C-alpha cells in the first residue's frame, strides 16, 4: 500500500471547483482519498492511497495534476517504514 499527500495551489476563487472535481474523479475510480481545503501556503490537501507506488504515481500524474484550475502542486509520498499511526 502506497500513500501520498498532494498539496495543490489553485486558481484564485476556484478552490471548490478543484475539490469537487477531485472528489468526483477519485470516487469514480474508487481511489481511497481524503480532501481538505486549507488556508496557508497551499489551498487544498488531497491524500490518496494505491496498492503500489506505480499506481500511485499514475493517479497523481494523470488524474490529480490534470484537474482544471490546479496551478501548481507538491507531492509527498509517505515513508511506509516510518509510518506510525496515531
Partner 1 sequence: MATAYVLLNCQIGSERHIIEQIKSMEGVKEVRGVFGAYDILIKIQTASVERLREIITWKIRKIDKIRSTLTLMGVEGQE
Question: Binding residue for partner 1 (CB under 8 A) from 12, 30, 39, 52?
Answer: 39
Residue 82 grid coordinates: 516510518
Which of residues 32 and 38 has its CB atom nearest to partner 1 in the complex?
38
Those residues whose C-beta lies under 8 Å from the C-beta of residue 80, and which sit 6 or more positions away, are: 1, 2, 3
Q: Cα–Cα distances in Å, from 73 out to 5, 76, 85?
A: 10, 10, 25
- 1 forms part of the interface with partner 1 (CB under 8 A): no
Half-sphere exposure of 65 (CA within 13 A, CB side): 11
Of these, 35, 49, 55, 69, which contacts partner 1 (CB under 8 A)?
A: 35
Distance CA(56)–CA(25), nearest Å, equals 14
Among 11, 24, 29, 37, binds partner 1 (CB under 8 A): 37
One of 38, 54, 61, 68 touching partner 1 (CB under 8 A): 38
Point out which residues bind partner 1 (CB under 8 A): 3, 5, 7, 15-16, 19, 34-42, 44-45, 74-79, 81-86
Amino acid at each position: 500500500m502506497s500513500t501520498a499527500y498532494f498539496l495543490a495551489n489553485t486558481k484564485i476563487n476556484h478552490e471548490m471547483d478543484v475539490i469537487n472535481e477531485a472528489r468526483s474523479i477519485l470516487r469514480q475510480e474508487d481511489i481511497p482519498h481524503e480532501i481538505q481545503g486549507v488556508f496557508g501556503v497551499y489551498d487544498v490537501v488531497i491524500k490518496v492511497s494505491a496498492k503500489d507506488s506505480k499506481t500511485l504515481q499514475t493517479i497523481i500524474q494523470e488524474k490529480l495534476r490534470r484537474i482544471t484550475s490546479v496551478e501548481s502542486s507538491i507531492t509527498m509520498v509517505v515513508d511506509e517504514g516510518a509510518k506510525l499511526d496515531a
